[in-house]
Structure 1
Amino acid sequence: MELTVSDFGSRAESGIIRLTRINGAGVGGLAEIRGINRTNDYAFKRIFGSEEGKEALLSFLNAVLKLPSGRELTGVELLDREIDPRYLLDRGARLDVLARTKEGTLINIEVQVTNQYNIDKRTMYYWAGLYHGQLTSGQKFADLRKTVTINILAFDWFRGDGRYHRAFHVRDDESGELLCDDLEIHFLELEKIKTIKRRPKDALEAWMMYLSNLEGEEMEAIAMENPGIRKALTIEKAFWQSKKERRLYELREKAMRDEISALAGARAEGEAKGKVTMAQEAICKYLDARFGEASRDLQERVRQIDRLEALDKIINRIYTAGSLEEAGSVIDDAVK
């Protein structure tokens, strides 16, 4: 068995939202809203994870799940609605939206801003936790209900094409036969929407444009046609006018910026270490080719040097060494 893909469409853009003009007649008298980052998971949870935001949530879910006509979601129960402010500065805290349908299906929505190169395993880990967590002592496997995960990614994860929506299920490799409908995982990649220069073709594109960096008259036109997005913008306005909410939002923004900075630093360090390793290997290969087994001790010394500047000096001079002793002197001079 393997996970196979049902696919849908093409492209997106994430980041800071600046809604420069929404006229009063069009979307409920919304004034100018600037600087709201809709991929801020605190703001996302406040908009979609509140009783007031159920209309927006249902609209978004129906756009993503694409259920057959007549089977669209008409109501959900929100779970885990409370947010402990102490967690807002915790870069590792998950501020997701968890809901249960009338049929008992669990739906989890999470926004991921930074690429930690583990979204596949992270997704499976949290999906598994939600699935097995349904059973309490004495319950049967038959009591398990379908569990759906929706990941909104502010970065590219899948390569090779421009599809912005992927849906995974458990199917047979040859026939495509569904083993069990209990697992359903969606990925929405916001970066893949950015090249779209037209009106959204469906509700999913409209929602992804909302979550991306869309502004001005384009956002206004989309909101006029989508009551769910119109509701989200109304909640957004009230959210932005609350000093308390803005303060908590900024705390979460700080945590997100810190996470991005930490990841950037780790990547830079990793790149530097990679260059050091490459330089060490280049020198050792030369020593082995030039002096053979007798250079083993020198090679070990080279592998202990972690300064790229010193390794560069060795690379530039090692070819002038006519003997093992001279090669040792080149290394000694470089590390002084």
Structure 2
Amino acid sequence: MSDLLEPTVDFVFKQVFGSEDNKDDVLLNFLNEVLRETEPKPFVSLALLNPQMDKDALTDKQAILDVRAQNEDGKQVNLEIQVTNKYDMPKRSLYYSAKMYEEQLSEGQMYKDLKKVISINILTFNQVPNKRFHNTYHLREDHTGELLIDDIEIHFMELPKLGLKTNKMDDRLVKWLMFINGAPKDRWEELAMDTPGLKKAMTTLEFLSQNKEARMLYEMRKKALLDERSALDYAETRGREEGKLEGKLEGKLEGKLEGKLEGKLEIAASMLKKGLSVTLIAEVTGLPAAEIETLNEQIH
């Protein structure tokens, strides 16, 4: 797949899934596969809430090139791909879900007007400590599992877990994720079979890969993401090294303190054997009188 752009780069992902041309087939079909178990009926139509993309954002390491859409019932979906593990994905996803939920209400509206928000996170790293590649979360009662309200729904789909077990090839969601994860082109026909919308996603990726401007923007974005990952790796490595150094220094200091204490205890024991008073020994050694009393009991 060396001649094709990588769908896991958020710039490419947004072009394939978040364009006006692709929202009614590519995005709609993909979302319906993701939400097959949680939505009572498939989405019929979508309106993109952030179709534009600022080219200046491509060089911003912190920029979020997500896909945000609303269905015919007013439910909102935020679809995002993440290639860098910032170790804060659950909090980050919950924050954006809560923000989407809160932003729906304008002055004078009622809480009953609030619609469901769905956050879908596709990760190129492992986040959830189980073997499932697709995990879904809701607000539920701890003991009974009873759903409090269905208004917040968060998905994590981890691409590295696709290879942990044999996935049925009739699972259309698996086919979508294999394409996103960079399945070789000689498998495309097999993946696209009986998977609505996937063929168009593949055609879009081919077109982007042959477009000089798209490839230039893609390289800009890849560099920004690489810079971010390098900065995180550097900070993590430095943190480990500083931790080791701090540990060594603490060890040396503790060793010296223990040595001094043992020396004082030896002096105190010698003085006790000679019959000197606890008060005098405490004054000479700097040890607490109670500790000298304990030492005296051990000696005698």
226, 229, 243: which one pairs with 1:260?
229
User: 2:104·2:114 contact (CA, 8 Å) conserved in 1?
Assistant: yes
Q: Does 1:150 align with 2:106?
A: no
What letter is aligned with 2:145? Answer: G
Matched position secondary structure for 2:59: coil
Matched position secondary structure for 2:193: helix
Q: Does 1:104 align with 2:74?
A: yes
What letter is aligned with 1:61? Answer: L
User: 2:4·2:209 contact (CA, 8 Å) conserved in 1?
Assistant: no
132, 145, 156: which one pairs with 2:102?
132
CA distance in 2 between partners of 1:86 and 1:216 (Å): 31
RMSD between aligned alpha carbons?
A: 2.0
Larger relative contact order, structure 1 or 2 (CA cutoff 8 Å, min sep 6): 1
Q: Unpaired segments of 5 or more residues in structure 2?
A: 265-300
30, 54, 62: which one pairs with 2:32?
62
CA distance in 2 between partners of 1:289 and 1:191 (Å): 49
TM-score of the two chains, using structure 2 as the length reference: 0.83
Q: Does 1:209 align with 2:206?
A: no
Q: Does 1:94 align with 2:61?
A: no
Matched position secondary structure for 1:77: strand
Q: Corresponding residue for 2:248?
A: 279
Matched position secondary structure for 2:41: coil
User: 2:9·2:222 contact (CA, 8 Å) conserved in 1?
Assistant: yes
Q: Does 1:72 align with 2:79?
A: no
In the alignment of these two chains, the number of paired residues is 263
Q: Unpaired segments of 5 or more residues in structure 1?
A: 1-17, 19-32, 296-336
Q: Corresponding residue for 1:116?
A: 86
Gap change, CA 1:69 and 1:84, over 3 Å in 2: closer
Q: Corresponding residue for 1:184?
A: 153
Q: CA deviation at 1:119?
A: 0.6
Gap change, CA 1:239 and 1:172, over 3 Å in 2: same
Q: Does 1:248 align with 2:208?
A: no
What letter is aligned with 1:288? Answer: L
Q: CA deviation at 1:200?
A: 2.4
Matched position secondary structure for 2:68: strand
Q: Does 1:230 align with 2:184?
A: no
What letter is aligned with 2:196? Answer: P
What letter is aligned with 1:37? Answer: E
TM-score of the two chains, using structure 1 as the length reference: 0.74
Matched position secondary structure for 1:262: helix
CA distance in 1 between partners of 2:37 and 2:70 (Å): 16
Bigger Rg, structure 1 or 2: 2
Q: CA deviation at 1:137?
A: 1.2
